[in-house]
A = this chain, B = another copy of it.
Amino acid sequence: MGRVVVDVMPKPEILDPQGKAVAGALPRLGFDQFVSVRQGKRFELEVEGDVTPEVLDAAQRAAETVLSNPVIEDVVRVADIEADAAATVESEGLA
C-alpha cells in the first residue's frame, strides 16, 4: 500500500477567511509569533501497490481537476508520502 499526499492552498490573491480567523485567534491564545495564516487542504490518496511515476502523474491530474478548484486554489505539492517521513520525524521530535 502506497500513499500519495496532495496539498492544495488558496491562491495568494484570494481572501482566506478561515486562515484570517485562525490568525486572529492565535494572539489571543498567547501565540504572537505568527503574522499571517493561510488554510488549505491536504489529501492522502492510497493505492494498492507502490507509488510509481504513473500513479504520481494520475494524482497530479486528479489534484488539478478534482481535488482543487483552479480558479481559486493552487496545487502546491503532489508527492509520495514516504518523502514526508524525515520532516514528520523531525516535528515529532519537538513534541
Contacts and interface: CB of A to CB of B under 8 A. Distances in A.
Interface size class on chain A is 35 or more
Contacts of A9: 42, 44
Given A79-B91, A91-B77, A39 B35 contact: no
Contacts of A59: 33-34
Interface of A: 4, 7-9, 19, 22, 25-26, 29, 31, 33-48, 53, 55-62, 64-67, 75-79, 83-84, 86-88, 90-91, 94-95
Main secondary structure of the interface of A (DSSP, over half): mixed
A38 to B, nearest CB: 5
A19 B31 contact: no
